Amino acid sequence: MPFSTIILSLPRSRLLKQEAVPIIVSKTPKQIPKVGLPSSATDGNNMQPDGTKQSMDKFKKSSENKAKKITRKEIEKRRQDCRDGVRKCRENMSEEKKAQKREKDRV
* Domain encompassing residue 90: 71-106
Residue 101 lies in a domain: yes
Give mean pLDDT, residues 37-62.
Answer: 56
Where helices occur in 25-71 by DSSP H, the ranges are: 57-69
Residue 100 lies in a domain: yes
From CA 97, how far away is CA 91, in angstroms rounded? 10
Residue 64 has pLDDT above 50, yes or no: yes
From CA 49, how far away is CA 38, in angstroms rounded? 11
Residue 24 lies in a domain: no
Residue 82 lies in a domain: yes
Residue 1 has pLDDT above 50, yes or no: no
The model's pTM is: 0.30
- Count of beta carbons in the 10 Å neighbourhood of residue 83: 10
Give mean pLDDT, residues 43-52.
Answer: 56
Residue 48 lies in a domain: no
- Provide the terminal-to-terminal Cα distance of the chain, rounded to the nearest Å: 82
Mean pLDDT of the chain: 69
Name the more confident of 31 and 87: 87
CA atoms 56, 60, 63, 69: torsion sign: negative
pLDDT at 80: 94
Number of domains making up the chain: 1
Residue 96 lies in a domain: yes
CA atoms 48, 51, 52, 55: torsion sign: positive
With a pLDDT cut of 70, the percent of the chain lying above it is: 36
pLDDT at 84: 93
Residue 35 lies in a domain: no
pLDDT at 81: 93
Residue 83 lies in a domain: yes
pLDDT at 45: 53
CB-based burial of residue 41 (10 Å sphere; 0-12 exposed, 13-18 middle, 19+ buried)? Answer: exposed
Give mean pLDDT, residues 77-83.
Answer: 92
